[in-house]
Amino acid sequence: MRPGPCTVLVLSWLVAFNLRSGFIGLGPALPALTVDLGLSFSQASVLVAVPTLMMGLMAVPGGAVADRWGPARVITAGLALVAVGGGLRAVAPEFVVLLALTFLFGAGIGISQPSLPRLMRSRFPLRVGVTTGIYASGLVSGSIVAASLTGPILGHIGEAAAWRLPLTLWGILAGIALLAWTAVMRPWRPPDAPVPSHVPPDIATAAAEWSPWRDARAWISALLFAAQGLVYYLLVAWLPAIYGEAGTSATATAGLFAVFNGATLPAILLFPSWSDRLRRRRPPAIVASLLFLAGVLGLLALPAIDPWRWLWPALAGAGVSGVFAMSLVLPADIAPSGRTGVAAGMVLAIGYAASALGPVIAGVVRDVTGSFDATLLLLPVTGVVMIALAALAPEFSRERTDLTYLDTVEASS
């Protein structure tokens, strides 16, 4: 018996949670890890950069394998790498071993992520938006929980090797998720053919030959994902420093940063669900982009003026997460039957390549100019670009009732 819709969504949320917790949880533990293992700052930076790099590099092969073998199998393999590679980082005796395990960990995230849009398309063909929002909220929740709990865990232990405990915890949680996923989804079951036999041969041939790299709609989706990723990671890395330069106290900065992160969770659920109800993708994507632009313009003009300073991070966080969620929905809209994984892989690969550049660009601009003013100017410029891309984004197909879409359900999903 195949698992029911609610079970699939719960497990997908749990998978997504564990694709972020061990990744984000490394950040607060990095200073203690650096001291304990005697690492240079360059070595420590590599440990943070590798997962993002692998998320981009492995997205393309991960999406292709998801289309070929089915998302349940690929998620099983990816989550196993996340649990083993991520958990064993806690016992790494030196940098080389830690780096190798980090590559495995990042590869697991990279191959798993394109399978989630593929799974939503196959199991919920008429509710891709709302179901994408649900599993994407797991990504945000994993980030928030890991960022919130890792610091207190380190502070409670207060030893040089305290960094090993939170990494162990995130590895164990990923292992529990792997066991639950495997027991319920049973990835050893053979998948059905991705395109049913009664679909006309010309449609099946066109689906097999389709490539997102030759589709303008896929490029628009990828560029939209890249734009939001660039500004999101830039803000995550440097927003506290930006507030610090504006004269905000450490306590207020922490609160403002929490507002930014807290606003991402409801938005990531709202915007794709709204797009399903509208049966349109562009209006929610445009509104989310406008919210982001309003937030960063406020941050640029009135970063420390009460009560407005609390509104700007909320708007920026809600806007960027709304665009993120809509970008995850689009691959399922543009791909023909059986090719969602490939589409998602292309969008994620380009998006995470750009995401890795955000903090670097901000840091270089800060070094060259001596302040974050020029970096702040990049944010509204990118916001305008996001609005333009959202206005050009692939629209919701009005032919969702044809056999080429409704019959893509796989037994392995």
The pLDDT of residue 156 is: 78
Tokens of 9: 């969504």
Residue 406, pLDDT above cutoff 90: no
When pLDDT is averaged across residues 120-137 and rounded to a whole number, the result is 92
The pLDDT of residue 19 is: 95
When pLDDT is averaged across residues 4-28 and rounded to a whole number, the result is 92
Q: Are 112 and 59 in contact (CB under 8 A)?
A: no
When pLDDT is averaged across residues 138-144 and rounded to a whole number, the result is 92
Q: Taking the C-alpha atoms of 344, 348, 349 and 353 in order, what is their torsion angle to the nearest 10 degrees?
A: 170
Residue 398, pLDDT above cutoff 60: no
Cβ-count burial of 79 within 10 angstroms (0-12 exposed, 13-18 middle, 19+ buried)?
A: buried
Instruction: Tell me, yes or no, if the two domains 5-191 and 208-392 fold the same way.
Output: yes
87 contacts: CB under 8 Å, gap ≥ 6? 22, 167, 168, 170, 171, 172, 174, 175
CATH architecture for residues 208-392: Up-down Bundle (1.20)
Residue 353, pLDDT above cutoff 90: no
Enter the pTM of the model. 0.86
Under the banding of pLDDT at 50, 70 and 90, the label for residue 412 is very low
CATH class of 5-191: mainly alpha
Q: In the chain, what are the domain boundaries?
A: 5-191, 208-392
Residue range 299-334, pLDDT digits in tens: 888 877 788 888 999 999 999 999 999 999 999 888
Residue range 176-229, pLDDT digits in tens: 999 999 999 998 877 644 444 455 565 556 667 788 999 999 999 999 999 998
Q: Are 232 and 52 in contact (CB under 8 A)?
A: no
